[in-house]
Amino acid sequence: MLIDDILTDRGDSFYHISNADGKVWLMPEKNMRVAMNLYQPSGIKGKLLKAFFPLVHPVGFVQEVVNVEKKKCALRSELYDLLCKLFCNSDLEFSIFCGTPCVHRKITIQLSVGKKILGYCKVSDSEEIASLFIRESKVLEQLKNQGIKGIPQCLYCGKIDENIYIFVQDTVKTQKSQVLHKWGAIHDNFLKEMEARTKRIVDFEKSDYYRTLLDLQNHTEWLPRTIDKLLIEKTLNTVFEKYGRKQIVFCAYHADFTPWNMFVEKNELFVFDWEYARMLYPPMLDKYHYFTQTAIFEKHWDAKEIIKHISSLEAQWVDKESYILYLLDIISRFTIREKGNIDENMEKSFIIWFEILEYLQK
């Protein structure tokens, strides 16, 4: 396993924390409050664990009640030494998130010293994910050159041995940073600023968005069997007919603009994890991603509840055409990523996306 390639079973004491979704974290006994900034639960049990476990973890029976295991571990020297060099500190502390179970699974390491968070290191043994790391480093450099604030700086992107790839970034995150789970002006302002600084008028066929739709059109056989492929094809053709051979305004797109990929520090929104980002997409699609993903994963709404909301006065901001463009994007990206190997949980998301898409075209 990848985790065994970067850790030894000697070193400081850590707690092995897992949840029902198969996600695993390794949290150090030392300075646990800082380390737990890497732990971003959405459920009430996880939030209680984050709030209180750093206070009560020394009590033995508490560890049994919350189902955590204690173990020793340390980063292997070749990785640790490189990180120490990048952050100009020889006494780094760390916590680890072992990744969301999926084909693009990767390990995330939070680096800190005392009460100060320094940055993050993403680790993978997949060449496909390594290409995402390279893309992210290029996107961040491009956004920086275009004057975008509130984004990390890539400190390193490359290999540490023949099969392990890493992406290292800095951060301004502190223990006082806030994670907002409700859309506000700060989100709108970030996206509008990004649109203003990155917008370009290009031929539709030369855009990243066009290529995403083309991928879906060429691989509808990878869609779940529960999805009406004919409606997907009809919707794609409608978009191609409307925008084809025309010059369109496009801009940068984060592609996973959600509460778990951002925080607020000193009244500024800081957005990270740009590995799926594209530079030529329709404006403001990130807002639809934020709304849809938080509805599914935080509010646990089904398609009927989402449709009820977007039909209400609360959702006057929703533009049906933009929402359709977003839904085609997310359906395409996950179809291509999974290559037909869609599990039950993923299929539930596909069904929700499709039912919303179907409703928007009535």
Determine, yes or no, domain membership for 43. Answer: yes
Asked whether the beta carbons of 44 and 107 are under 8 A apart, the reply is: no
Count of domains forming the chain? 2
Whether residues 263 and 350 fall in one domain: yes
pTM score:
0.93
Mean pLDDT by groups of 10 residues along the chain of 362 residues: 91 89 89 91 78 76 73 96 97 93 84 97 95 98 98 97 94 94 97 99 99 98 96 98 98 98 97 98 99 95 98 97 99 96 93 98 90
Domain contains 227: yes
Distance, in Å, from the CA atom of 171 to the CA atom of 152, rounded to the nearest integer, reads: 6
Which pLDDT belongs to residue 45?
A: 77
Q: Is residue 129 part of a domain?
A: no
Q: Is residue 138 one of the residues assigned to a domain?
A: no
Residues 356, 230 share a domain: yes
Q: Name the average pLDDT for the chain.
A: 94
Q: In the prediction, which pLDDT does 149 show?
A: 97
Domain closes at, from 124, 155, 177: 124
pLDDT at 1: 81
**Within-domain flag for 313:** yes
pLDDT tens, residue by residue, 87-136: 999 999 999 999 877 767 899 999 999 999 999 999 999 999 999 999 99
Residue 192 and residue 270 share a domain: yes
Closest to 151 (Cα-Cα) out of 140, 136, 162, 138: 140
- Containing domain of residue 266, as a range? 185-360
- Residues 236 and 319 grouped into a single domain: yes
Where would I find the beta strands (DSSP E) of the chain? 7-18, 24-28, 69-75, 93-97, 107-113, 116-124, 154-159, 165-170, 200-203, 247-253, 262-265, 268-271, 278-281
Q: Are residues 91 and 201 in the same domain?
A: no
CATH of the domain at 225: 3.90.1200
Same domain, yes or no: 244 and 346 = yes
Per-residue pLDDT, 51: 84
Q: Which two tokens stand for residue 73?
A: 């571990």
Specify whether 216 is located in the same domain as 329: yes
**Residue 176 lies inside a defined structural domain of this protein:** no
Same structural domain, 197 and 326: yes
In order of 121, 195, 238, 243, the CA distances from 282 in angstroms are 30, 9, 16, 11
The domain boundary residue, chosen from 124, 143, 173: 124
Domain boundary among 106, 124, 142: 124
116 plus 190 within the same structural domain: no
Residues 212 and 356 in one domain: yes
Is 42 in the same domain as 189? no
**Shared-domain flag, residues 339 and 213:** yes
Q: Is residue 132 part of a domain?
A: no
DSSP string over 216-264: HHHTGGGS-TTS-HHHHHHHHHHHHHHHTTSEEEEEEE-S--SGGGEEE
Q: Does the residue 54 lie in any domain?
A: yes
Among residues 117, 53, 161, the alpha carbon closest in space to that of 272 is found at 117
Upper half-sphere CA count for residue 323 (Cβ side, 13 Å)? 22
Residues 8, 66 contacting (CB under 8 angstroms): no
